[in-house]
Structure 1
Amino acid sequence: MENNKLIDVACSDNGTKVIYCSDEFFADSSRMLQSSNPVWVEGKYDDNGKWMDGWESRRRRDGKNDFCFIRLGKKASINSFNIDTTHFTGNFAPGISIQGCSVPGGTTDDLVVDGSAVSEWFDLLGKKEIMGDSHNRFECPVNNPITHLKITLHPDGGIARFRAYGEFWEEKRDPSFDGVNVLSKENGARAIYANDEHFGRLSNILEKHEPLSMADGWETRRRREPGNDWGVLALSKPAQVDKIIVDTKHFKGNFPHKFSISTAHISDVEKSVILEDSMSWKKLLDQQKLGMNQIHTFEKNDILHNEPFSHVRIDIYPDGGIARLKFIGKFI
């Protein structure tokens, strides 16, 4: 059920936060939003009991349920959930339900918690039974864009990780995007080959969403031999480019020193031939320096030709990682 093309929109790496929790006596609710897998630490206790890597409330005796409110880092739609109860055996929550809402930007957390800013909470997942020490996966039947979630445990207990897989919604167009990103998965671009993908896949640089971490980009191992690392990408159809954007977000001590771009207009050619010929493709951008954790923009005066192309070769010197590569232009 977990589609690798979808994003965990509830991950704290992306700015998602718990804004209110009814009870987190045994374990802080914010832990369930972490991107890391839950761990078990034998013999670790704190003042309230056994330390657990997740959210855990005390045992309820009043017939009510525990709950928390979550603010997403960005407005999103959700496709599916994974309620991970790894390491929670005699203390997992036996049931869960999830609701969502959408409020205008700038709404303060307190107005969501008290309900005054929420016109409607709608069900994303009706009450479901969940099992301990397991991955409990559920489809989300509602595709509404949401800004906040309400998670209810029935009646109490713990979960290790809360995963909500979906897509972010763009509130407004990025002002730097005065054209179409012809080099994006959304527009049919794909990665054909990379000589090294040790830490991150080349296809990641074609994603639309904001980079979540170094793992969400393309990163090669440290090169100890002569030469440089490189990759080849294909557009869905020929295009021209007016602007090139290279984003090294999250790459600080491991970004490439330089990079260059070459292109070709080809069709119906075997992959082996494409890779061999790519070394002699026409330069679109000469070697340019890169900096850490920033967006680099190259305009028309940097771009060497305006000819249509269908394939792109990116060379990084000598190695390292980049988060995103965007070509702003038009399809021919």
Structure 2
Amino acid sequence: MSTSQTPAAPFTELVNLASRLLGAGVVATNEDTFADAENLLVAKPAEFRPHTFGHKGQIMDGWESRRRRGTGADQPHPTDEDHDWAVVRLGVAGRIHGVIVDTAYFTGNYPESGSVQGASIPGHPSVAELADAEWTDLVPRTPLRGDTAHEFEVADTTRYTHVRLNIWPDGGVARLRVYGEVLPDPRDLDGLTFDLAAQEFGGVAEAASDRYFSSPHNLNAPGRATVMGEGWETRRRRDKANDWVQIALAGSGEVLAVEVDTSHFVANAPGWADLQGYDASSGGDPATDTAGWFELLPRTRLQPDTRHRLRLAAGRPATHVRFNVYPDGGVARLRLTGRLTESGRAALALRWFDALPAAEAAAALTGAGLTAAEAGALAAARPLAGPAQAAAAVAALQPADGPDGADTSRRAAAVWRLLGV
């Protein structure tokens, strides 16, 4: 079973790939005279303070371009194709499930229409390389309204590293959110221990018993919480149950250490916590299979405003964890240091490989040792939904010069280096 976080809930429950905390940034724009394009990525909702004027007019909390004009007195209006744009480098690459284009507080100065495009550009591209990239429509040109959070679902299954917001002919957009499934390059994780629950590697808080005061997505957010409101806090319980969060890990992995951080929670930290694991790699469903959960960390006493670092004995691999707090309260961060299992690394690599643009997939295969012809044929055979399909696709490649058996072994070794299957 794949551990891909296919959204059963609205796409807004997935990771915001355009979060500054994850490393996103506005890397290019053609015009932001009135208000900086970087405002698109500010984490908090847009604000409006009337009659706050700067040297360029009313100060707007968003991206706003100047008013476009035509070419002369006989053509004072812009053409139908004249438009402004801003390119955002996603904090983490991934498959985009939905975007929000929010024109909050832009009422007489919002764009008439807009679109969102995606591109996959490996490495650290320059502005010139961004301009030359192949851009794909994720949200086609669509009419926009003022003071509205426009939600657009995206069906494209490609892994993208950048998005471009286009607006016609000019105007202002307050915020841009890009929600999706993180798909890290597995080669970057080989041989490493890392936080299996972290958003930047694909961890997602899938469900929670309570999110009254703040979101469970804060638990595996990047960085340390700076105030209490940046953690996960539940309401006060008046029964004998407990609160919990379920997190899908980056992949099947062995959890080696836990950090439970109650920083800033002084009078409202939980009294105790424990951690359970679930291995869905064989096809189980953690939402319904209550008998499949096993103990990773026994119920442990917590202290307020404290980073608790706890080592775990080597044990069973898990694809999901359930973090239980007793009876209620707030936790700033949960960190699960561990390493991917062999099967977990392979499953992550297959999801990544299937989502790459064809040229990138072929380049990755040639880098692993296949010929250009073999790489092109295997890239065209995607999706490789599992190890069996990957092995069959490798076996179906036409042999090159030399004994067929040796050539098949060479190809299999090259694919193993890249995908682990």
Matches within 5 A, 1:147-162: 147-162=161-176
Q: Residue 46 of structure 2 aligns with which residue?
A: 38
| Residue in 2 that maps onto 1:96 | 114
Q: How far off is 1:15 after superposition? A: 2.2
Residue in structure 1 matched with residue 334 of structure 2 by the alignment:
324
Contact 1:290 1:296 in 2 (8 A): no
CA contact 2:197–2:336 (8 Å) conserved in 1 = no
SS in 2 for 1:31: helix
Aligned to 2:274: 261
Deviation at 1:98, TM superposition (A): 1.8
Question: Partners of 2:222 and 2:312 in 1: how far apart?
Answer: 22
Cα contact 1:259–1:290 (8 A) shared by 2: no
- 8 Å contact kept, 1:220–1:321: no
Q: Is 2:195–2:335's contact at 8 Å kept on the other side of the alignment?
A: no
Equivalent of 1:60, from 48, 56, 68? 68
AA partner of residue 144 (structure 2): I
1:78 paired with 2:86, answer no
Q: 1:291, CA displacement in angstroms?
A: 7.6
Equivalent position of 2:397 in the other structure: none
CA deviation string 1:86-138 (max 9, x = no partner) = 21111111111221111223x244343343xx3x2222122111111222222
Separation of aligned partners in 2, 1:298 and 1:12: 31
2:32 corresponds, among 24, 38, 46, to 24
Displacement of 1:247 after TM fit? Answer: 5.2
Relative to structure 1, is the Cα distance of residues 16 and 69 closer, same or farther in structure 2, using a 3 angstrom cutoff? Answer: same
Matched, 1:231 2:243: yes
Specify the code of the residue in structure 2 equivalent to 1:254.
Answer: F
The answer to whether the Cα contact below 8 Å between 1:68 and 1:152 also exists between their aligned partners in 2 is yes
Counterpart CA distance in 1 for 2:205 and 2:62 is 38
Match of 1:30, SS state, is helix
CA offsets 1:183-241 (integer angstroms, 9 cap, x no match): xx9899854x57xx553356865x6x757967674235799xxxxx95356899xxx97
Secondary structure of the structure 1 residue equivalent to 2:274: strand
Report the secondary structure of 2:39's partner residue: helix
Between the aligned partners of 2:84 and 2:277, the Cα distance in structure 1 is: 59
- Pick 1 or 2: higher relative contact order, CA cutoff 8 A, min separation 6: 1
CA 1:81–1:198 in 2, change beyond 3 Å: closer, same or farther? closer
* Unmatched tracts of structure 2, length 5 or more: 1-8, 71-77, 279-289, 342-421
Q: Is the 8 A contact 2:35 2:60 kept in 1?
A: yes
- Secondary structure class of the residue paired with 1:27: coil
TM-score (ref. length: structure 2): 0.55
Tell me, in whole angstroms, the C-alpha distance in 1 between the residues paired with 2:323 and 2:109: 53
> Take 2:299 and 2:68, find their aligned partners in 1: how far apart are those partners?
64
Deviations 1:28-61 (A, max 9, x none): 1111211222222110111011111111101112
Q: CA deviation at 1:288?
A: 6.6
TM-score (norm 1): 0.67
Q: Secondary structure at the match of 2:21?
A: helix
Task: Work out whether residues 190 and 203 of structure 1, in 8 Å CA contact, stay in contact via their aligned partners in 2.
Answer: no
* Cα 1:75–1:189 shift into 2, 3 Å: closer
Higher helix fraction: Structure 1 or Structure 2? 2
Amino acid at match of 2:116: I
* Matching residue of 2:129: 112
Question: What's the offset of the Cα at 1:161?
Answer: 1.4
The 3-state SS of whatever aligns with 1:127 is: strand
TM-aligned CA deviation for residue 75 of structure 1: 0.4
**Greater strand proportion:** 1
- Asked whether the 8 Å contact 1:204–1:324 carries over to 2, the reply is no
- Alpha-carbon separation, structure 1, partners of 2:185 and 2:27: 22
Could you say what the CA RMSD is over the residues aligned between the two structures, in angstroms? 4.7
Question: Is 2:160 the partner of 1:165?
Answer: no
Equivalent position to 1:246, from 248, 259, 272:
259
Q: Match of 2:100, SS? A: strand
Distance 2:83 2:93 in 1: 27
- Unmatched tracts of structure 1, length 5 or more: 224-228, 266-273, 275-280
Letter in 1 for 2:140: G
Identity %: 25
Q: Give 3-state SS (helix, strand or coil) of 1:83's partner.
A: strand
